Amino acid sequence: MSEQPAETPAVATTPDDGGQLAKARKEAAGYRERLRAAEAERDQIVQERDQIAGRLAGFQRAQIDQLAVEARLKPAALWATGVTLADLLTDDGTVDTTAVTQAIDETRTTFGITQGAQATNPTGVAGNNGTPIRGEDTETSWSAALKHR
């Protein structure tokens, strides 16, 4: 036996409905239009929020990178340990310097990085900076340099 689908009653429109159906349709169209506008506004706000959140994360990460550099550690080494930005922030979103310090210490331990490694030249400039090498004469001039030619 095949079942017959139940018949849906047809909406009867009579000329004497006083235009209520047209009024209801127009009202529904207005609601749909307002809904589309509200959804578009929401989508724009969500996009702007995501952009701002991305910028904020960049600033937070830059501050953490600076703390790593000040501790004489390459930021890439810190992030290579798998630490996340969320791990290094407080509940209100500020950088947790204690957590960053702990992460830096863990990074040093994980990768065997010594803490006090400083360059022998504190000026950061390569070369001998004008100091004599192996007891050379400090009064060298161009004429003395070209004398043996």
Residue 145, domain member (yes or no) = no
Tens-of-pLDDT digits for all 149 residues of the chain?
555 555 655 555 555 566 899 999 999 999 999 999 999 999 999 999 999 999 999 999 999 999 999 999 999 999 999 999 999 999 999 999 999 999 999 999 999 988 765 555 555 556 656 665 665 555 566 677 777 66
Locate 138 and state its tokens: 């400090």
Do 108 and 115 form a contact (C-beta atoms < 8 A)? Answer: yes
pTM: 0.58
Residue 11, domain member (yes or no) = no
What is the DSSP secondary-structure string of 63-100? HHHHHHHHTT--HHHHHHTT--TGGGB-TTS-B-HHHH
Residue 61, domain member (yes or no) = yes
Domain count within the chain: 1
Q: 102-105: long-range contacts (C-beta < 8 A, 24 or more apart)?
A: 103/78, 104/67, 104/68, 104/71, 104/73, 104/78
Residue 88's domain spans which residues? Answer: 20-113
Residue 102, domain member (yes or no) = yes
| Alpha-carbon distance values, 89 to 61, 64, 138 (Å) | 10, 10, 55
